[in-house]
């Protein structure tokens, strides 16, 4: 008696390829949906703005039409003035952020790691953070004048506050069990900082840095409104004085785009520094 062995029919190549293609494109489709959802609200505002300008709901002296703002943007790009003001503001933000982030990380880590230092300086630091940076500007002006040093220090001050708070809290809140584990494994202080404290504290520190970057842009506009002859804040002041609100709106749009782009860059760096984290914030 002859036994006939039957094998399952092979799955056609085309359906398997199509299924794999659909699976590979699924994340892209989800991302596109998120992008479209995020753009829906600003596009609706833009449509309402255009309709209001065309129907004359708002006087053009108060809110110019989108076409006027766009033409002003093109003119500023053509004569190079927008690039000049943007470059000046970016340099100030970069210098202030570097200063504030460095001071915030070092001081925050020291406060979090040394309980005696925390008990000594933490109450006055928390009291100082309750005072807006604007309140310190008259005092800082006495020592720094109104030149670039004042702008960089004010921006750095506004950056350092959330970085100090986030870093001190993140480093100080590392569970005692993890610290004891480092002692049991006979890790050196540097190894405990690198292998235990830093991975545990990094998410909170990154949040403080992003908040500090947002504060940097807000403080930039304030200091450039106060005393400056170049920069996006100065462009806003100039447009307001000339009653050319299209210049104000152009400067506001550029600040918003730059701030959002830099925040996305910080998020990308954060993901690169935390390869064990997924996009949802859970461990792999």
Q: What is the pLDDT of residue 238?
A: 85
- 31 pLDDT tier (thresholds 50, 70, 90): low
Can you list the domains of the chain with their CATH numbers?
A: 66-273 (1.10.3720.10)
In the block, which residue shows the tokens 């992003």?
210
Pick 28 or 139 by higher pLDDT. Answer: 139
Determine how many CB atoms are found less than 10 A away from the CB of residue 71. 14
How is residue 118 annotated by DSSP?
A: H
Determine the average pLDDT of the residues in 122-146: 81
Residues pairing with 277 in the sheet: 283
Q: Give me the count of residues in the chain.
A: 284
Q: What is the pLDDT of residue 137?
A: 81
Give the Cα separation of 174 and 112 in Å (integer): 9
In the block, which residue shows the tokens 């036994």?
3
Q: Which residues contact 121 (CB under 8 A, 6 or more apart)?
A: 111
pLDDT tens digits, one per residue of 60-87: 777 788 888 899 899 999 988 899 999 9
What predicted TM-score, i.e. pTM, was given to this entire model? 0.74
Q: What is the pLDDT of residue 276?
A: 59
Closest CA to 212 of 90, 91, 99: 99
Give the Cα separation of 105 and 110 in Å (integer): 8
């Amino acid at each position: 008696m002859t036994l006939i062995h039957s094998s399952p029919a092979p799955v056609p190549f085309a359906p398997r390829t199509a299924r794999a293609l659909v699976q590979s494109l699924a994340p892209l489709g989800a991302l596109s949906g998120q992008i479209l959802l995020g753009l829906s609200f600003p596009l609706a505002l833009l449509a309402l703005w255009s309709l209001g300008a065309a129907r004359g709901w708002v006087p053009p002296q108060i809110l110019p039409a989108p076409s006027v703002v766009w033409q002003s943007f093109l003119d500023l790009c053509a004569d190079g003035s927008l690039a000049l003001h943007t470059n000046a503001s970016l340099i100030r933000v970069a210098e202030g952020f570097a200063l504030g982030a460095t001071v915030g990380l070092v001081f925050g880590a020291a406060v979090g790691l040394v309980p005696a230092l925390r008990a000594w300086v933490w109450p006055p630091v928390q009291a100082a953070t309750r005072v807006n940076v604007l309140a310190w500007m008259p005092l800082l002006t006495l020592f720094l004048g109104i030149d670039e040093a004042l702008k960089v220090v004010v921006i750095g001050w506004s950056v350092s506050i959330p970085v100090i708070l986030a870093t001190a809290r993140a480093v100080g809140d590392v569970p005692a069990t993890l610290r004891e584990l480092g002692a049991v494994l006979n890790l050196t202080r540097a190894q405990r900082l690198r292998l235990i404290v830093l991975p545990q504290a990094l998410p909170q520190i990154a949040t403080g840095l992003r908040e500090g970057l947002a504060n940097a842009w807000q403080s930039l506009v304030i200091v450039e409104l106060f005393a400056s002859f170049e920069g996006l804040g100065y462009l806003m002041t100039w447009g307001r004085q000339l009653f050319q609100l299209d210049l104000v709106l152009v400067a506001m749009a550029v600040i918003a785009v730059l701030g959002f782009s830099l925040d996305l860059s910080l998020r990308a760096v954060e993901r690169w520094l935390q390869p064990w984290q997924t996009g949802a914030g859970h461990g792999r």
